[in-house]
Structure 1
Amino acid sequence: MPTGLVALLDDVAAIAKVAAASLDDIGVAAARAGTKSAGVVIDDAAVTPQYVTGFHPSRELPMIWKIAKGSFKNKLIFLLPAAVLLGQFAPFLIPIILILGGLFLCYEAAEKVLEWLHVDETTKHDEPAIVEGHGREEEMVSGAIRTDLILSAEIMAIALSEITDEVWWQQGIILAVIGIVITVGVYGAVALIVKMDDVGLHLATENEGVVAAFGRGLVAFMPKLLTTLSIVGTLAMAWVGGGLLVHNIAAVGWHGPEHLIEIISHPLLGLFPESAEMTVGGIAFALLSGILGVLVGAGIAPLVHRFFPHGAEANE
């Protein structure tokens, strides 16, 4: 009896070690896959505040909560099962999906760059006025959730491409972890961003001296932060979108863009010591991928405007 019990305990300990190792592997894979999605995550955080701009401050957090719930539903109910099935039964479609996603990100990035350069006036909008009404609120929340669905699909597809060697249940756990962590992080950050100006206004009006000055500084800083987020989000979209095109076009058999980037970046590597070549190479690839992404996006923007005029306006 003791021998059987000891053997059983040994088996339990062995299973526990395997489970712990699996959890460690899942954590590492989730971190790796989540990092690849960083550009889309930044853009998600930069885009969302526009959907609550113009509403009464008391409605901002409830609207963000509604959008966050929709994002959880997008990732965990709709996209997660589809991604796991795709990874198991049609992994050959992943590069094609990522190419389409890369084109979308390149288009979005190019639209913003063209607007900065005053080349594309179709994305200009008047400043939103204070709006009220349940119908208007629901319309904006629905629009935000639709945009989140596109960005969430990109996040899940990018993450899935990094974990195709995992078994299906590990893929499901990793994608669920990524979906939950990213959603909490993005919408927590959005809630903080949209309420900081209210916090600053409260500090400025209800206090004096240093505290009031800090409040006024916070109010003045928030528009700059939103502008910075928009710029970083645009650059991240161009980098991620261009990178998706380069890697996945190569994956389906055409290595032209990949070789072109290598040819351009190779002379730069000779200017730095060998110990820095990997870092310099990564920076050069990101920069050239971003430039490629903007050029591709600028090329397809007129087609999008022509064939999907309402969709192009809705994305902005």
Structure 2
Amino acid sequence: MMLLLALSLLGVATSAASQSLPGLIDTLVASGASQFADFIQSDPETLQLYLSDQVQTVFAPLDSASGNETLQERDLSPAQRRTAAFQSAKGTTSIDLASRSLPGLILKTNNNAPLLNNQPQRVVVDTRPRNLTSPTKRWNPSSISRRGDNGTSLLRISSGLGKTTNVIKGDIQYDGGILHITDGYFTMPESLSSTSKYTGQTAFNNLLSSSNSTNTLDTTPSVTVFLPSNAAISASNSSISASQLVSDHVVAGTVSYLPDLKDGTVLTTQKGETLAISVRSGRYYVNGGLITQANLILDNGVAHVVNKVLKPTPATTVPGAASTSSMSFIGVFGAICAVGIATLI
């Protein structure tokens, strides 16, 4: 009887504590993000999302960083709704939780992406030190809290076009979850060709164009792409065709952000060959190429910049295997070639 009474009192106390927390809008205004509060309130559909249990972590830009999203009193456009949904995560993510593991944490946003099979678009918390000469160093949650006092980043979060947004004030509780104040909006993901061009990987973009694969790869659902840098492509002196070189760097059907890449992970390219991930002293390599910039979020997946042109490991042929077995590995370009051959026959 006493135990039931104690549990009942605990439930009442927990409910009272929850009810004592301010609502999201009041918390945004009190935390210096009143323009973001206006943003989500300007559209009934967006406000309903933010007040639902789908949103448990909010990343709200400080007023001084919100100039580009000033709105009139009107419903949001579809693009603005996606921007708003992209600023929230489905789960509850505190600074401590997001900082515990290297190389980071993948967060599901409320922006469902058509080219990810309508699954939530992601952003990625990067917990690696900025100076990669000591990449095994872990962040200490207590020191993170102190860093926030001088206005520097508590968390670095990767979004579209290789952009990084910083949490500058975190773990602000409201009655529906946790609020983090950021120094800007997350950048909406764009296509592979736009992203490679924006991030300066123009040589790879030229390969996409010369192999007539720009539109194909921009619209292929769920891809992981390793982008050789301009210097890597210039130094490769490769004699293989542009289409083959491109397909050697594309993994279709899976999206592997940096935290997904473990030492020994094997990925299969469009041609059915393999790329192996190795992690050495905190640095990430794919078939010997160092990942120099990770987590360029795409509207159909993710890209990572590498410092060499990759040479995948040929697929192992099983004697007597049926042709359908090899067909299972054929990617976008292989499928096109197969259809063309069948037509000629």
Tell me the TM-score normalized by structure 1.
0.25
Tell me the TM-score normalized by structure 2.
0.24
Higher relative contact order (CA 8 A, sep 6+): 1
Q: Give the structure with the larger strand fraction.
A: 2
Q: Give the structure with the larger helix fraction.
A: 1
